[in-house]
């Protein structure tokens, strides 16, 4: 009788242990899944879309990606002229000139493209 009672207790302990093991396994899977989601969310970078035609000089002055905008503008206007040649020194000087113009308080409310187009020979 005592051995039968011992076997029943052993069975119950094994069943309880198996349940805890299964619960632990599920919790571990949930934890790992949550970590993967958190790391995946951190690695995703938001894409920024900018309508260059609406950027004012004041907005340009606080942009983190001023170089990207300057390169885009150069490509846009070279594309309109169908001019595939980029003279680096001329480009850098033009960028310096326009950045100085964009910093002028009189130009803060003007759009970057408007300022550029108004300074081009017709």
Give residue-wise pLDDT tens across range 93-120. Answer: 988 999 999 999 999 999 999 988 888 7
User: pLDDT: is 122 or 48 the higher one?
Assistant: 48
Q: Beta-strand (E) ranges in the chain?
A: none
Alpha-carbon gap, residue 68 to 50, rounded angstroms = 11
Give residue-wise pLDDT tens across range 71-95. Answer: 888 888 888 889 888 889 988 998 8
């Amino acid at each position: 009788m005592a051995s039968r009672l011992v076997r029943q207790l052993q069975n119950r302990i094994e069943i309880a242990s198996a349940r805890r093991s299964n619960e632990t396994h599920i919790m571990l899977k949930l934890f790992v899944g949550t970590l993967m989601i958190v790391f995946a969310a951190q690695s995703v970078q938001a894409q920024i879309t900018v309508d260059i035609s609406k950027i004012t000089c004041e907005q340009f002055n606080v942009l983190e990606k001023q170089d990207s905008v300057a390169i885009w503008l150069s490509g846009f206007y070279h594309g309109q002229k169908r001019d595939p040649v980029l003279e680096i020194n001329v480009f850098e000087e033009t960028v310096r000139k326009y950045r100085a113009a964009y910093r002028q308080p009189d130009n803060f409310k003007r759009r970057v493209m408007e300022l550029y187009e108004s300074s081009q020979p017709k």
